[in-house]
Structure 1
Amino acid sequence: MTTVKVKLTHKNYDVKIEKGLHQAIGEQVRSVWQPRKVVLITDSNVGPLYLSSAQGQLEKAGFEVLPVEVPAGEASKSLTKVGEIISQMAQAGFTRQDGVISLGGGMVGDLSGVVASLYMRGIAFIQIATSLTAQVDSSVGGKTAVNLGETKNIAGTFYQPDLVLVDSDYLDTLTDRDLVEGYGEVAKTSALEGQDFFNFTGKIRSVQDIRDHAPELSERSIAYKAKVVMGDEKEAGQRQFLNFGHTFGHAIELLSHGSLRHGEAVAIGMVTVTRVFEAEGISPEGLTQALIDRLQAVGLPISSDLVGTPLFFQHMINDKKNRGGVINMVALAQVGQPIIVPKPLDEIRSMI
């Protein structure tokens, strides 16, 4: 088993990475929590596959489980759904000594984290990451959020888990598209981390390569994110680097109304912003093409007609990085050397 330790000012926790961990959920949860009531939150894609097994293991370990399954998709990442789950927990008599366990991908993890952070002003939280997106990125670092209308991740908290479990066996039941969209975050992280990891992603030339190397891709991605988060938990400085590709990507994702997955939109965002900064001489010549090569090798999109539309810029106004009409854009001065480039929104309009 590989363990990445996340050590923060007020909290430490482990991210455990190993094939077969889905068969040891009760044991792993019991290693950090005494038996208690837990709400086990999943979605309609993951639930039919893994909910029964996870619930049975937890009950065998002495936990009283309230299973909650929400519809798959971003529509469930809402304050309405948060309120519904909190109401179910209250009716079941949950107290501050009880806990929330997320069993799913990024959407379920975000939703569960908000629920955990709000119920009685905060109760214990564990993430079991079942998608590549969650395994390499969203389950680590404590960011939780839900969407409000057409604005992505506008209502949320920083709320760290007590444990994160990553098992590549879960990826066996993902469709190729669902797997590959998570690789968008891996490619992003490799460009941020440095040349060695970037060279490694350059050797990933197919969907099967992603599956074959999933544990190492998760370990390297998580190790980098943990290092960044430990240096800047609340995104006051270097954690902003993790938004590479996301400023444009979030706008594209929302405008696509479900036709683009998160990692697909981030892939388009990375290429778009790097092409702009390469033309300005901020990013090195050839970096855009290097990113394109990695993304296209596994079938990720690199462009969208949604970029540059009036609604695209309207969404950017609501971006959390907007500071009085100036948005902190993430650029790469070199692979492994991310920088913040403040850009007025009017200037961004002329860039694209």
Structure 2
Amino acid sequence: MEQITVKLPHKEYNIYIKKGLLNILPETIKENFNFSKLVIITDDNVKSLYGDKLVKSFVDIGINTFCISVLPGEVSKSISVAEKIYKDLLKYKINKGDLVIALGGGVVGDLTGFVCATFLRGIPFIQIPTTILSQVDSSVGGKTAVNLEEGKNLVGAFYHPEAVFIDPDVLETLEEKYISDGMAEVIKYGCISDNKLFEILYEAGDYNNLRNRINEIIYRCIDIKREIVEQDEKESGIRMLLNFGHTIGHAIEKYYNYNKYTHGQAVAIGMYYITESSERLGKTKKNTSQKVKEVIQMYKLPCKIEKINKDKIIDTIKLDKKTRGNKINIILIKEIGESLIETIDMLDLKKYI
């Protein structure tokens, strides 16, 4: 079993990576954590694949276990769904001596983390991510949030799990679109920090050729994030680099009301647009955007969209967490594997879209 430890001034926790880990999870959690009752929060799709079996496994070893399931997708990442979960937790008489598990992808992880950060001013939880996106990125680092009608992740908190358990075997049940969705985050890590990772993706050419290296891919991505989070837990500096492609990507998701593009697809478009623009403006090494485009397309992600209303996109970006007054921090890459934070005036934003 591979292990990565996140060390923060106020907390330390482990990320475990092992194929087949889900099969031994109940006993592992019972042996290593003190709690009275357990709640698994998941979505309807993951519940039928893994949730019901996991609940039974915990019950079979004598743990009083409840399950809360939400609708799949961004529709559940909301204040109203969080409120419903609060009420369910009260119904089950959950307190700080109990434990919550987030079993699912990025939406379930973000939603559960936000609920646990705010319920009783903080209750312990564990992440069990079941998608590439959540395994390589969102389950680690303590970012939790829900969306508002005006934009994505506008209400949230930094709140870390007690542990993260990653079983790459669960990726075998993912539909192709969710594989591609998660690969956008893997490409991001290669672009901002790891030229070797980018070359691995480029040489593989598609996800099928990466399957036998998926543990390594997950480990590399998480270790990059660990190093950045340890330096800048609350995104006041270097952690902003992890948002490469996300400023435009989140705005695109919102522009289409979260119906047309997945998070990964929107981030892929954002990564290409920002790199093409920065290359044109002389801030990025020539031909970098072409390499980014090629890798994006290899993993069946879009890199362009039809003409959009730039003013509406900019209005959404103005609500972005990286905005400070009339300035915004955008993430650029100088070349593959080297990134930087650039502070620009809002009036110059159109140059990058």
- Do these two structures clear the TM 0.5 threshold for a shared fold by scoring above it? yes
Structure 2 counterpart of 1:290: 291
Q: How is 1:71-82 mapped onto 2 (pairs within 5 angstroms)?
A: 71-82=71-82
Say whether the 8 Å CA contact 2:35–2:99 is kept in structure 1. Answer: no
Q: Within 5 A, what are the aligned runs for 1:68-217?
A: 68-217=68-217
Correspondence for 2:261 = 260
Deviations 1:40-98 (A, max 9, x none): 10001111111111112222344321100100010100011111111111121111111
TM-score (norm 1): 0.97
2:336 aligned with 1:335, yes or no? yes
Deviation of 1:127 after TM superposition, in Å, equals 0.3
Give the share of equivalent positions with the same residue, in percent.
37
Q: CA deviation at 1:334?
A: 2.6
Relative to structure 1, is the Cα distance of residues 64 and 220 closer, same or farther in structure 2, using a 3 angstrom cutoff?
same
Q: Is there any run of 5+ residues in structure 1 with no aligned partner, and where?
A: none
Q: What's the CA shift for 1:336?
A: 2.5
Deviations 1:3-54 (A, max 9, x none): 1111111111111111101101212322431242122100011111111111
Distance across 2 between alignment mates of 1:336 and 1:133: 20
Partner of 2:316: 315
* CA deviation map 1:188-208 (0-9, x unaligned): 001112222221121231231
3-state SS of the aligned residue for 1:202? helix
Shift of 1:308: 5.0
Q: Which amino acid aligns with 1:284?
A: K
Structure 1 ranges of 4+ moved more than 3 A: none
Structure 1 vs Structure 2 CA RMSD? 1.3
- Residue 241 of structure 2 aligns with an amino acid whose one-letter code is F
Structure 2 CA distance for partners of 1:51 and 1:153, relative to 1, 3 Å: same
SS of 1:66 mapped into structure 2 = strand
- Amino acid aligned to 2:8: L
One-letter amino acid of the structure 2 residue matched with residue 260 of structure 1: Y
Task: Pick which of 7-16 and 24-33 moved more.
Answer: 24-33
**What letter matches 2:243 in structure 1?**
N
Q: Any idea what SS the aligned residue of 1:213 has?
A: helix
Within 5 Å, give how 1:236-255 maps onto structure 2. Answer: 236-255=236-255
User: Conserved in 1, the CA contact under 8 Å of 2:273 and 2:352?
Assistant: no
* Structure 2: unaligned runs, 5 residues or longer: none
Distance 1:180 1:98 in 2: 36
Q: Contact 2:283–2:334 at 8 Å: present in 1 too?
A: yes
Say whether the 8 Å CA contact 1:328–1:340 is kept in structure 2: yes
Please state whether the residue corresponding to 1:49 is helix, strand or coil: helix
Tell me how far apart the structure 2 counterparts of residues 151 and 215 of structure 1 sit (CA, whole Å).
33
Per the normalisation by structure 2, the TM-score is 0.96
Whole-angstrom distance in 1 between the partners of 2:39 and 2:302: 37
